[in-house]
Every structure is written in structure tokens, then in C-alpha cells.
Amino acid sequence: MSIRKLQLLELKILLELNRICDKYKIQYFLMGGTLLGAVRHNGFIPWDDDIDIGMMRSEYVKFLEVCKYELSEDYFLQTFESDESYLFAFAKIRLNGTEYSEPINKDVLHHNGIYIDIFPFDHAPDNHYLRKLHRLMLLEMDIMCWMKYGYVKKPTTLKLKALSTLRLKTHRYLSRFFSKSQLIRMRENLLQKYNKKQTKYCINASFFHYPSEIFDQFIELEFEGIKFPAPAGYTTYLECAYGDYMCLPPEHERIRHTPYLPDFGRYVGINSVDDILKQRSI
């Protein structure tokens, strides 16, 4: 019941995003586990605890600007510009008056409300080796940001622990030569480096590549009984992201992203999609 209530409140946030995008003709689309859930489950993956939304960079910039005056006061748009403790290259919309902390930044962030993620997509090099180098540079720069901001991500195996110790020490040392804003700006400039030309590949803000043609057109898919936009090339997207995406993972891999229990605040009485839709009509 706890995870279902969490999903419903994330759906509430998504509907606010959808309202804004419809009003201002901003193209967004379901992605990641949310897109997989729409295709395989017609809604949330039963054990999933977040919503992932994508936008091409031009739409993402427009959305962030519009949110400054259009986003309801029930929500908080979290970016590295609106929250000095937040470092990610993608935005979150958080529900005020709730809490759902992530292990990596539990004691660092100023706002830990229940959220959805919004990822910008940028162009990437056509050349295979340049594309791999581009991603590697972004990942290394991102680690430096993590070190600078005090985020923590624990390795899961002894081998990773050994590799991580040296790697993290190196990045922690290098990060001392830059301010937080300098590191963020360097990463943003690199992420958007290839946007001046149309390339055959794009990269999202979690640094995964996809063929650009996936996002040339959009359709609607049902998610929790409501239609939302999705890439027309969603089959290719899901194969790139998950391989045999219709095959369920083993039970031990069906876990939430964070081990902490949500604090639902004044929304503790939300128990169904109908409850969410009724709130919209008030």
C-alpha cells in the first residue's frame, strides 16, 4: 500500500507537468521505467517508485522557463539553479509537504519531497569512438560534481570498492581546483556541445545514448488509465535500454530505488487514481 500511494502521488505530479505542457505546447514523453511500465503493465511497474520523463533540450529549456510562473505552489521545481545543494543534470518536480529521501544525498539536499525526474536529451557525435569518449568525459565530470557536493554512492562488490577508492580520491582531489558552479557549467557545456547540428544519436542527462530517430515522432500510450505521449520508436528505445523488455526480471531484482519509507504529509488519504483526478477538479 505504501508504494502504491507513492506511485499515485507521482502520478499527481505528472498530471501537473502534463497540464503545463499541454497549455504551452511543450513536447515531452515517457521514458525509462515509466515507458516500460506503460508498454508492459499499462501503468507503473508494480515495484517501481519513480516516474521518468524526457524532453529534447529545446523543449526542456522552454519548460523550465514556463515553470517559473506556471507551476502550482504545491510543487517545487528542483534544478542546480533553484537548489544550491542539487547537482544533477536533470530536473525534478517535488511535491511540497512530503518526503522521500534518496540514499546518495539524504543529508545534503534542501528539499526531499516525493518527485518525478525530467531528463533533457542532447545530440551526441555520430562517430562511435567520439561518442564513447563524450560519454566517458561526462561520467568523469559528473563524479567530480558528486565529490564537490558531498554525494555518496557505495560500490556493491569488493572489486568495485577497490577501484572506487582510488578513483574517488583522484576525483575528489581534482574537484578542489574548481567551484561548484564551474563544474556544473563545464558539464552542461559538454552535454550540449553537439546541439548545433542534427546527429544520428542523442544522449540523455543520465548519459545513455539512443538513436535520434526514436524521438522524431510521438504517439500516446495508456499509463494508469490516462493517455500520455511516448516516442513512436519506443520499441527501439526499450530494446536499447532493457534488451528483452517484456521479460520480467528475477524477483530479487524487483526493488525500489530507495530503502526509505515516504512521508505522505497531508496526502496520506490518497488511495486511488480517482482520488488524484478528483483533486484536479477541485
**What is residue 27's predicted lDDT score, i.e. its pLDDT?**
98
Calculate Rg over the CA atoms of the chain. 19
> Which pLDDT band, with edges at 50, 70 and 90, does 1 fall under?
low
**What is residue 154's predicted lDDT score, i.e. its pLDDT?**
60
Least confident of 28-32, 58-62, 87-91, 269-273: 269-273
Residue 63 lies in a domain: yes
The residue-averaged pLDDT of 220-229 equals 97
Q: How many CB atoms lie under 10 A from the CB of residue 46?
A: 12
**What is residue 155's predicted lDDT score, i.e. its pLDDT?**
52
> Which pLDDT band, with edges at 50, 70 and 90, does 255 fall under?
confident
C-alpha dihedral sign at 40, 135, 76, 66:
negative
Residue 226 lies in a domain: yes
Q: What DSSP character marks residue 97?
A: T
Residue 193 lies in a domain: no
**What is residue 189's predicted lDDT score, i.e. its pLDDT?**
97
Which helix (H) or strand (E) segment holds residue 122: the answer is: strand 115-124
Residue 254 lies in a domain: yes
Residue 206 lies in a domain: yes
**What is residue 259's predicted lDDT score, i.e. its pLDDT?**
81
Residue 256, pLDDT above cutoff 90: no
Residues 151-164, buried b or exposed e (16+ Cβ, 10 A)? Answer: beeeeeeeeeeeeb
For residue 89, which of 67, 114, 60 has the smallest C-alpha distance? 60
The residue-averaged pLDDT of 200-204 equals 97
CA gap 205, 120 in Å, rounded? 6
> Across all residues in the chain, what is the average pLDDT?
90
Say if residues 114 and 96 touch (Cβ distance below 8 Å): no
More confident of the two residues 154 and 64: 64
More confident of the two residues 29 and 273: 29
**What is residue 164's predicted lDDT score, i.e. its pLDDT?**
65
Residue span of the structural domain in which 266 resides = 2-127+199-281
**What is residue 29's predicted lDDT score, i.e. its pLDDT?**
98
Size of the chain, expressed as the number of residues it contains: 282
Residue 28 lies in a domain: yes
pLDDT 10s digits, 136-180: 999 989 988 988 888 876 654 444 454 467 677 787 778 888 888
Task: Tell me the whole-structure pTM to 2 decimals.
Answer: 0.92
CA gap 13, 24 in Å, rounded? 17
Say if residues 134 and 203 touch (Cβ distance below 8 Å): yes
The residue-averaged pLDDT of 124-137 equals 96
- CA–CA distances in Å: residue 230 to residues 24, 66, 105, 161, 233: 18, 22, 30, 38, 8
CA gap 38, 44 in Å, rounded? 7
Say if residues 187 and 141 touch (Cβ distance below 8 Å): yes
Say if residues 119 and 206 touch (Cβ distance below 8 Å): yes
**What is residue 172's predicted lDDT score, i.e. its pLDDT?**
79
CA gap 49, 257 in Å, rounded? 7
Least confident of 24-28, 73-77, 155-159, 245-249: 155-159
What's the grid cell of residue 85?
Answer: 545543494
**What is residue 2's predicted lDDT score, i.e. its pLDDT?**
86
Number of domains in the chain: 1
Residue 237 lies in a domain: yes
Residue 166 lies in a domain: no
CATH number at residue 96: 3.30.460
